[in-house]
Amino acid sequence: MNRRVYFDYSATTPMKKEVLEEMLPFFNTDFGNPSSIHSYGRQGKTALDIARDKVAKTLNAKSEEIFFTGGGSEADNWAIKGAAFASRSKGNHIITTKIEHHAVLHTCEYLEKEGFEVTYLDVDQYGLIDMDDLKNAIKENTILITIMYANNEIGTIQPIKEIAHLAKEKNIIFHTDAVQAYGNEIIDVHELGVDLLSISAHKVYGPKGVGALYIRKGLRIHPLIHGGAQEKRRRAGTENIPGIVGFGKAAELAYENMEGHINKMETMRNRLIKEIMETIPYTKLNGHPTKRLPGNVNISFEFIEGESLLLSLDMVGIAASSGSACTSGSLDPSHVLMAIGLSHEIAHGSLRLTVGDFNTEEDVDYVIEKLPPIVDRLRQMSPLYEK
Amino acid sequence: MNRRVYFDYSATTPMKKEVLEEMLPFFNTDFGNPSSIHSYGRQGKTALDIARDKVAKTLNAKSEEIFFTGGGSEADNWAIKGAAFASRSKGNHIITTKIEHHAVLHTCEYLEKEGFEVTYLDVDQYGLIDMDDLKNAIKENTILITIMYANNEIGTIQPIKEIAHLAKEKNIIFHTDAVQAYGNEIIDVHELGVDLLSISAHKVYGPKGVGALYIRKGLRIHPLIHGGAQEKRRRAGTENIPGIVGFGKAAELAYENMEGHINKMETMRNRLIKEIMETIPYTKLNGHPTKRLPGNVNISFEFIEGESLLLSLDMVGIAASSGSACTSGSLDPSHVLMAIGLSHEIAHGSLRLTVGDFNTEEDVDYVIEKLPPIVDRLRQMSPLYEK
Amino acid sequence: MYSEKVMDHFMNPRNVGEIEKAQAVGEVGNAKCGDIMKMYLQIENDVIVDVKFKTFGCGSAIATSSMATEMIKGKTVKEALQLTNKAVAEALDGLPPVKMHCSVLAEQAVKAAIYNYAKENNVHYEELEGFVPDEDHDHHDHEEEE
Amino acid sequence: MYSEKVMDHFMNPRNVGEIEKAQAVGEVGNAKCGDIMKMYLQIENDVIVDVKFKTFGCGSAIATSSMATEMIKGKTVKEALQLTNKAVAEALDGLPPVKMHCSVLAEQAVKAAIYNYAKENNVHYEELEGFVPDEDHDHHDHEEEE
Ligand SMILES: Cc1ncc(COP(=O)(O)O)c(C=O)c1O
Ligand SMILES: Cc1ncc(COP(=O)(O)O)c(C=O)c1O
Ligand code: FES
Ligand code: FES
């Protein structure tokens, strides 16, 4: 195992060199607390403002609509709990989908225990919601719709603009978890018409533990973290200046070359899908053929189980991911793969390869070379194969 | 202004070099998501485990009792809301003090709106609570006591062990915000008998945006951030591995040389207090003369206002802090200074100097030299002086 | 945070002090809020020939006091009554939003001094109609946020 | 995550395959849970002279299958019935807590094979009393946390 290739960019990304360089001074030179009025503090404040402008620009939002958080999960929790509790006098019904990230799903489940009612929309075999289902789910007391922009497992992209339009028409707050879409799609919050949108730095070559919530100007939601006057009194806690500066830089870089990035990802993605599907029998592509993230490959291999596939790939230096529950010791395979109608057996044999900026065509070649014998070896061991 | 001296270590600290060095590989080399089973992920998981062990050791806690958060404010919010909502069936009364950090105070105020009842204990002129007050405040329906270990403005240290003992006797959950005490006091959670304890990395020469909550084994509280299975399913979100690794290192360093650190801080603190009080008339030391943080100096100067004092100090390169509301444009000066009984006028003229590991005796000399003429100049400008 | 001009007027305030036999003295603000501004005007033939101030307050309060005194020195009383807090703030190259109210204090202090002067000398300035010198300026405690 | 021994048995599993005329065949687990283990034993004079397995499952499931086959090869049937999942896990230098249940599968697969053998050959093993071959092993979905 000399070669190491990383195909798990949807799990997390390495930070770009330029991002780290931009962060370094803020760890121990310009380290002040932005709430302080002395020069150290003002340096921090200036850096914070610049980073906020950068992130705002990538979403075509106003700077004062961007609120930094400790990650994508916090942004999701804040958006959903904050909107739900702030609108409780108007109703208690929330609509989401069955394929959301756990940060959304478990938050909704928590709210059910707190007296809210939640509708979990089905998706079709590609992972798309049906707009009519959504329309029918809306009730008098619906206060919030939260539907992810792009799915983290199968990459399917929802019709966000249509959903936002419908929500606005019905006067319902609309949140979208754009953690996976951000940096891989042009996102214009005003054109889309969303009210709340979550993003996370570590998915776009920025630091871990930093995210942001876009809150449309004028919208009021409850804080999730109360305390100091940071983030216009809406999210307390001494700002993670190096992290936020890194996020700003990562955002800027991502949007500088969005088109090139998307093209490169799509080329690698398409080749992976094509070659794997052609050379290995008994496979199935999960997710939508075209409405999918530029870097997402998700394929099920019949008769084998995901963890043993991942371990075998890891032994030859390939880092990938799977929707098999056996990686986590829990009973059911991924709720997303179940929701698109896969049988348990097949869902257990899924492989997610997500490509990113540091991948090369040689990496793709390497996977295409190494994967078939590994799948074959595991199938030879499987009591289900040739049955 | 050639010299720049930082006397605001309670606001935030610069990161130690060793901390940054330990973090660096995790930004773009060992950058994996610890939830991933491939080698990148396993590197992250190992680093996470080591950091958790290090932090646990400094508190004499078990590793599985340490939960990483996005900072001290999140830890406070989680502890208080999590305990309150989880115990709602047992009661709705919470006891805290009037001098808590806003992360505690505003969380309690939020809970009042959500149907909880909160008693805010008075403190004496030194900032100490009265144990009898606390005893009298406890009711049948009291479910939570949250009292800070050491105050961030005036440095006063509360009798935490006694409070914990009383809480245990009455079967009430006890949380303490130890953000300021951590690294400046030997804290042994088991000896103290606390149930929940919040700490933050950036106050101990670690990174910003990382904190931890100690949760006594067996205690159940609601999560604040729902989602993925991180932190034993109790705090979701991709772990900030570089930040957590940095926290681990900072914790280790802080406890390696705790005694030396405390001695050095106390020497500088005592000299500052003595010389300032001796050379400048119309001054008052805020906080307890002995039960105070080793690095905390808080002095009120009559007839002048804090912001203009801070600005003047900043012009000669001295970074400090104040409890004057004029720094923030809000009406009342610091709630802490009000709670210890200062008049508004005097509270507005308060100066906080907090010393830290990178300060030298020369820095202290410099402040002692520069402060008197500045105070005098502002007094000369003040319509209150000589009245 | 503050412009260079603000810092200049804060570090080197013009016209600090008192005028012993001032024709007009006005004081606004209160120590509770952390700000008191006191203005002394020497008025000759309706012209402000000298002006001094003393201020207890933040950097912006001191700088606006200083700038306000500069702006009314040599002006007629009527001209001085035209002084607005906005003009003072602009002359300082602007103030941070949370600090705009400090400039109101400066405007009020000038007006309060002239009000007292008018009362003592039985002059009437229509510009002062509606001016209540002891009105609590209540300039604090606004939220930054919508 | 996994010990070197586990990885060795996972990457180079011993005794993979089928035995065509096996005296004893047992299958446990189910594909829904992501794991099926099938054991083939060749038994001569009450001694397990050969053993093979096929497994659909995680790395730990494959490694424990492999180790279990090694541990019972050459043993008498009675000895094989003494095999515990703990012993298999220990022989592999331990398993992560969430993966301990996979070793239970290995123990069960051996027992299931011998159970079928006993039934067909009308032998009675007291070690098998209480053993229900089709019992859902329900080994998943335990929380790590108290
Ligand atoms: C006593 C106290 N509690 C809580 C906090 C909040 O910590 P953080 O800034 O890490 O959110 C601070 C510092 O800001 C503090 O001093
Ligand atoms: C769709 C989606 N939402 C939310 C998250 C959570 O973000 P974070 O890990 O920054 O908390 C992730 C990634 O983990 C994600 O893929
Ligand atoms: S077989 Fe499912 S976790 Fe091992
Ligand atoms: S005088 Fe209070 S903020 Fe300026």
Report the C-alpha gap between A131 and A174 in whole angstroms. 14
Closest residue on chain B to A17 (Cα): B28
> What atom in ligand 2 is closest to the CA of residue A73?
11
Strands B173-177 and B196-200: parallel
Report the C-alpha gap between B171 and B158 in whole angstroms. 20
pLDDT in tens, A27-71: 999 999 999 999 999 999 999 999 999 999 999 999 999 999 999
Whole-number CA gyration radius for chain D: 14
Strands (E), chain B: 5-6, 66-69, 93-97, 117-121, 142-146, 173-177, 196-200, 211-215, 283-285, 296-301, 318-319, 350-354
Domain around C59: 4-127
Q: What's the confidence (pLDDT) of residue D138?
A: 46
Q: What percent of chain A has pLDDT over 90?
A: 95
Kindly report the nearest CA distance between residue A6 and chain C, in angstroms.
Answer: 44
Is residue A335 over pLDDT 50?
yes
Q: What's the confidence (pLDDT) of residue C133?
A: 76
Task: Out of A14, A38, A310, name the one closest to residue B320 (CB).
Answer: A38
- Taking residues A209-238, report their average pLDDT: 96
Strands (E), chain A: 5-6, 66-69, 93-97, 117-121, 142-146, 173-177, 196-200, 211-215, 283-285, 296-301, 318-319, 350-354
Helix/strand/coil for B310: helix
pLDDT band at B332 (very low <50, low <70, confident <90, very high): confident
Is residue B205 over pLDDT 80?
yes
pLDDT in tens, D103-134: 999 999 999 999 999 999 999 998 898 888 76
Q: Name the phi and psi angles at B327, rounded to 5.
A: -70, -25
Protein residues with CB under 6 Å of any ligand 3 atom: A 326, 329; D 34-35, 57-58, 60-61, 99, 102
Give the dihedral of Cα atoms B19, B20, B26, B29; nearest 10 deg.
-130
Q: What's the confidence (pLDDT) of residue D101?
A: 87
Within 13 A of B183's CA, how many CA atoms are on the CB side?
Answer: 28
Cα B98 vs. chain centroid, distance in angstroms?
15
Between the CA of A153 and the centroid of ligand 3 the distance, in Å, is: 21
| D102 belongs to the catalytic site | yes
| Residue B107 CB–ligand 1 contact under 6 Å | no
Q: Angle at which helices B258-279 and B361-381 pack, to 10 degrees?
A: 30
> What atom in ligand 4 is closest to the CA of residue C35?
1
Is residue B212 over pLDDT 90?
yes
Q: Is D45 exposed, middle or buried (0-12, 13-18, 19+ CB in 10 A)?
A: exposed
Report the C-alpha gap between B284 and B300 in whole angstroms. 5
Residue D145 domain flag: no
| Cβ neighbour number for residue A240 with a 10 Å cutoff | 28
Task: Annotate B369-381 with b (16+ C-beta within 10 A) or e (fewer).
Answer: ebbeebbebbbeb
Between the CA of A322 and the centroid of ligand 3 the distance, in Å, is: 14
A6 CB neighbours in chain B (<8 A) are 40
Residue C132 domain flag: no
Q: What's the confidence (pLDDT) of residue C131?
A: 86
Q: What's the confidence (pLDDT) of residue D145?
A: 33
Closest alpha carbon to B112 in B93, B133, B87, B131? B93
Between the CA of B146 and the centroid of ligand 1 the distance, in Å, is: 14
Report the C-alpha gap between A343 and A330 in whole angstroms. 16
C61 CB neighbours in chain B (<8 A) are 305, 308, 326
Report the C-alpha gap between A121 and A127 in whole angstroms. 11
Tell me which of D102, D104, D107 to substitute to probe ligand 3's pocket, judged by most ligand atoms within 8 Å of the beta carbon.
Answer: D102
Higher pLDDT, A323 or C14: C14
Per-residue tokens: A163:
């959903």
Which of D92, D102, D106, D112 is the catalytic position?
D102
Question: Is the separation of the CB atoms in A333 and A20 below 8 Å?
Answer: no
Residue C11 domain flag: yes
| Residue B197 CB–ligand 1 contact under 6 Å | no
Report the C-alpha gap between B71 and B20 in whole angstroms. 18
| Residue A248 CB–ligand 2 contact under 6 Å | no
Q: Name the phi and psi angles at D111, rounded to 5.
A: -60, -40
The closest residue, in CA terms, to atom 3 on ligand 3 is: A326
- Taking residues B20-48, report their average pLDDT: 95
> What atom in ligand 3 is closest to the CA of residue D57?
1
Tell me which of A146, A152, A208, A213 to substitute to probe ligand 2's pocket, judged by most ligand atoms within 8 Å of the beta carbon.
Answer: A152
Q: Do A42 and C1 touch (CB under 8 A)?
A: yes
Residue C140 domain flag: no
What is the model's pTM? 0.95
Residue C146 domain flag: no
Kindly report the nearest CA distance between residue B232 and chain D, in angstroms.
Answer: 6
Q: Give the DSSP letter of residue A209.
A: T
pLDDT in tens, B66-114: 999 999 999 999 999 999 999 999 999 999 999 999 999 999 999 999 9
Residue D104 domain flag: yes
The closest residue, in CA terms, to atom 2 on ligand 3 is: A326
Domain count, chain D: 1
Task: Give the closest ligand to the alpha carbon of residue B80.
Answer: 1
Between the CA of C38 and the centroid of ligand 4 the distance, in Å, is: 14
Closest alpha carbon to A352 in A259, A258, A282, A276? A276
Between the CA of B293 and the centroid of ligand 1 the distance, in Å, is: 15
| Residue A152 CB–ligand 2 contact under 6 Å | yes
Tokens 């050791």 — which residue? Answer: B57
D–C touching, 3+ CB–CB pairs within 8 Å: no
Q: H-helix or E-strand containing C27?
A: strand C24-30
Per-residue tokens: C114:
């002239």
Residue D56 domain flag: yes
Task: Out of B41, B71, B239, name the one closest to residue A208 (CB).
Answer: B239
Residue D49 domain flag: yes
Is residue C127 over pLDDT 70?
yes
D145 CB neighbours in chain B (<8 A) are 232-234
Averages of pLDDT over each 10 residues, chain D, 146 residues: 94 96 93 88 96 96 97 96 96 92 93 95 89 60 36
Q: What's the confidence (pLDDT) of residue A387?
A: 54
| Residue A325 CB–ligand 2 contact under 6 Å | no
Q: What's the confidence (pLDDT) of residue A70?
A: 98
Q: Give the DSSP letter of residue B280.
A: S
CATH number at residue C88: 3.90.1010.10
Closest alpha carbon to B311 in C2, A50, A185? C2
pLDDT in tens, A116-149: 999 999 999 999 999 999 999 999 999 999 999 9
pLDDT in tens, C20-72: 999 999 999 987 778 899 999 999 999 999 999 999 999 999 999 999 999 99
